[in-house]
Structure 1
Amino acid sequence: MADSDITILGETVSLGESKTINMEIARLHTMNKLKVPIIVERATEDGPVVLFCAGLHGDEINGTEIVRQLIVRKINKPKRGTIICMPVINIFGFINKSREFPDGRDLNRVFPGSQRGSLAGRFAWHLLHEIIPHIDYCVDFHAGGASRFNAPQIRIVPNNPELRALADVFNAPFTLYSKNIAGSFRNACGRLGVKVLLFEGGKSLDLNPVVTREGVKGAKRFLAHLDMLNPKKNAKPAPVPSVYIERSVWIRASYSGLLQNLTSVGKLVEKGDVIALITDPFGKSEHALKAPHRGYIINGNDAPIVYQGDAVFHITSKLEE
C-alpha cells in the first residue's frame, strides 16, 4: 500500500496524477543521453502498487510489447492504487538487440548490484533503491533466448501459497515451479517482500500475437483480482485452468544437422512420438527425435541447425496432481 505521495528519482507523484519519469544512469559512449521511461499512473483512491516490467534482457521484446499494449489500451490506468510500467529496463541491450548490458553482464544476474560497481550493477542498485521499495506486486515479462520458443507460462517459487493463488488468478496456459536464481531480479524483489510473477513466452527478437494476448489477458485478470482494473475494461476468465509443472527435462539432439520440427510448443505428446527429424544437408541420413515419455512440450528450439547435445525441446516430466 503506497503513501499518499510516491517519490522516484526525486520526482513526486500524488494520488490522481500521471507522470513519466526518465531514469538516467549512464550515457552512451557517444555522450548521448539514454533515458529509461518509468510510466506511473495513480488513481484518486489509494491501494496496492503494481509494477509491470519487461526488457531486463534487451532482446526479449515480446514482453516489451505486452507492457506497451497495457499502456496503449489504458489498462494501466487503475481503478485504485498505482500501476507503474517499465516496457524496456535494459535500454542498452534493446538498442543493440542484445541480451546483455554493454559491459557484457547479464542484468538479471547482478542484483542487488552496487552504487559504485559495474554499469549493470549500478543500474540494478538504482532499480532496487528507487523503485522497488514502493512496489507490492510485480509481473516481470520475459521470452526464451537463443531461438528457443517458450509456451506462455508463469514461473513461481515452490511452497508459496500466496504466489500460487496469484498464479491461479493470472492463469497462463502453464505454471512452472522454479527456484529463485541468485543475482536475479525476482530473487532480489522477493527478499524485499515484493510478490513476483515471472512470465515467459515466445523467443528473443520476435513478436508473437498469441503470447502477447496471453500476457495482456493475464495482466487484466491479475488487476481485477486486486480490484484495480479500470472499470472500462473487462477481464475474461481463462477457458481452462493452468497446467502446473513440478519438473521438466530437456530433450537434446543426438546428432548434428538440420532440424525439422514436427510438433508445436504447448502440445501434449506421448512416449515414442516422433517430434522432430535431424537430417544431414546432403540427403544421406535422417534421424528421428522421439519423446522419451508423455508430457507437454513447453519450449521448442526454432534454430534451423543443431549440434549434437543442443537442447531441442523442454518437456514436462511431472505435473502437479
Structure 2
Amino acid sequence: MARLYTSTVVDVPVLIHRAKKAGPTVLLTGGIHGDEINGVEVVRQMIAKKVVKPKIGMIIAMPVVNIFGFLDMKREFPDGRDLNRVFPGTKNGSLASRFAYQMTHSILPHVDVVMDFHTGGAQRFNAPHLRVDPMDIESTALAEVFHPPFLMHSKNLSRTFRDTCSKAGKRYLLFEGGKSQETDKKIISSAVHGALRVLHHLKMLVDTKPLIKETAAPILIKESKWIRAKYSGLLHPKTQCGQHVNKADVIATITDPYGTMRHKVKAPHSGYIINVNQTPLVYQGDAIFHLSKHEDKEPAASSL
C-alpha cells in the first residue's frame, strides 16, 4: 500500500483458500483498528486450526488489516484517520482513504459474507456481542447462527466498513469483545466458535470437531444507555462486564485522592453491563458503563 519513511515496503497479507467445489466466499478481518489485538488473534487462530481451508467456496483471511496501526499499537492510520470512518474510500485521497478504496474495489466484490472482529477502545472492555442492523434481515439471521452471548441492535454508521458492506448487499457480522492492546482467552474463544458455527451453517467446514455446543439463547439488546461520571476522581467498578444488575444497585464508586469524597454510582435501571470503563481515573462526564435496556432472552425469529 505504501512505504515507511525508511523506504521499506509495507505489505498487507491476504490469505486466500479456495475449494474445488463452488460455494460462498467468506471474508475474515481483524485489526481494522491497529491496537485491537483480540480480532487479530481470532483470525490467526482460525488460520492455525486450518479451518480457513473450506470444503466448498472460498475463505479470505486478513488477520491485520491496519498494518500501520498494528506496528505502532495505534487505532488510526499514520495520517491520523480512523480507517473505519473513511469507507468506501477514494482513489486519490489520504492514505487511509486509499486503503479503504482498495478493500472496497479489490476484495469486497468477490465476497458474500464478512465477519469483522473488533474490541472496545482504550480501557473500555466490551462483553462479547454482535452488532447488527435490525433492518438487515439476512445479517440478523446469520448473527443468530453465530450465537453470541449478546446480540445488539445497532444502526449502521456512515462511512464505516459495515455500512459499505451493507450497501453492497453483503451479509456482515460485527463482533465486539474485550479491549484494545490486550488479549482475552474467553472473548477470543467466543468469537472463534461463533465463526465456526457460521462456517458450519454454510457447509464450508471440512471437520466439525472444533465446534462446541451452543449455550443459552443470546440475549437480545434493542436499546442501551451510557452511564456517565457525575464527579471526577478515582473509579472503582463493583460489577463485571456481562453481569446483570438491578435498578439502584451500586455498580461503582468514585473517590477523590484525599479520602474526603466517596460517590456511589447506582444503576438507573435494570439491565446487563455490556461495557465497563476500566480506567482508574475519570473526569466528570466520562462514559463509565454501557447498560442495556429492555433486553429479551431470545432474538427475533430467524428467516433461515
Q: TM-score range by the shorter chain?
A: over 0.9
**Equivalent residue for 2:146, pick from 155, 160, 170:** 170
Q: Partner of 1:212: helix, strand, or coil?
A: helix
Task: State how 1:244-255 maps to structure 2 within 5 Å.
Answer: 244-255=220-231
Q: Partner of 2:235: helix, strand, or coil?
A: strand
Contact 1:157 1:179 survives alignment (8 Å): yes
User: In structure 2, how many angstroms separate the alpha carbons of the residues matched to 1:239 and 1:201?
Assistant: 17
**Equivalent residue for 2:11, pick from 25, 32, 35:** 35
Q: Partner of 1:196: helix, strand, or coil?
A: strand
1:59 aligns with 2:19: no
For 1:107, the aligned partner's letter is L
- Deviation, 1:146, is 2.3
Contact 1:27 1:33 survives alignment (8 Å): yes
Q: Who is 1:304 aligned against?
A: 280
Deviations 1:244-292 (A, max 9, x none): 1111000111111111111000000000110111111111111110101
Deviations 1:54-98 (A, max 9, x none): 111111111000000000111111111111110110000001111
Contact 1:221 1:237 survives alignment (8 Å): no
Contact 1:75 1:233 survives alignment (8 Å): no
Q: Who is 1:144 aligned against?
A: 120
Count the aligned residue pairs: 297
Q: Who is 2:301 aligned against?
A: none
Contact 2:130 2:176 survives alignment (8 Å): yes
Deviations 1:126-183 (A, max 9, x none): 0011100100000000000021000000011112321221111001100111111111
**Equivalent residue for 2:261, pick from 282, 285, 295:** 285
User: In structure 2, how many angstroms separate the alpha carbons of the residues matched to 1:42 and 1:87?
Assistant: 17
Contact 1:255 1:308 survives alignment (8 Å): yes
User: In structure 2, how many angstroms separate the alpha carbons of the residues matched to 1:194 and 1:233?
Assistant: 28
For 2:256, the aligned partner's letter is D
- Deviation, 1:46, is 1.3
Contact 1:156 1:179 survives alignment (8 Å): yes
Contact 2:246 2:269 survives alignment (8 Å): yes
For 1:242, the aligned partner's letter is P
Contact 2:17 2:54 survives alignment (8 Å): yes
Q: Partner of 2:76: helix, strand, or coil?
A: coil
Q: Partner of 2:88: helix, strand, or coil?
A: coil
User: In structure 2, how many angstroms separate the alpha carbons of the residues matched to 1:232 and 1:43?
Assistant: 17
Aligned-pair Cα RMSD in Å: 1.0
Q: Who is 2:235 aligned against?
A: 259
User: In structure 2, how many angstroms separate the alpha carbons of the residues matched to 1:55 and 1:230?
Assistant: 26
Q: Who is 1:106 aligned against?
A: 82
Deviations 1:170-199 (A, max 9, x none): 011001111111110011111111110000
Q: Partner of 1:84: helix, strand, or coil?
A: strand
TM-score relative to the length of structure 2: 0.96
Moved over 3 A (4+): none
For 2:258, the aligned partner's letter is F
Task: State how 1:180-259 maps to structure 2 within 5 Å.
Answer: 180-231=156-207, 233-259=209-235
- Deviation, 1:232, is 5.2
For 2:102, the aligned partner's letter is H
1:73 aligns with 2:63: no
For 2:108, the aligned partner's letter is I
Q: Which moved more, 1:246-255 or 1:225-234?
A: 225-234
Q: 1:77 to 1:233 in 2, by over 3 A?
A: farther
TM-score relative to the length of structure 1: 0.91
Q: Partner of 1:37: helix, strand, or coil?
A: coil
Task: State how 1:83-98 maps to structure 2 within 5 Å.
Answer: 83-98=59-74
Q: Partner of 1:189: helix, strand, or coil?
A: helix
Q: Who is 1:11 aligned against?
A: none
Q: 1:154 to 1:163 in 2, by over 3 A?
A: same
For 1:65, the aligned partner's letter is E
Contact 2:87 2:164 survives alignment (8 Å): yes
Structure 2: runs of 5 or more not aligned: 299-304
- Deviation, 1:234, is 3.6
User: In structure 1, how many angstroms separate the alpha carbons of the residues matched to 2:210 and 2:125?
Assistant: 29
Q: Who is 1:6 aligned against?
A: none
Q: Partner of 2:285: helix, strand, or coil?
A: coil
1:124 aligns with 2:94: no
Q: Who is 2:302 aligned against?
A: none
For 1:135, the aligned partner's letter is V
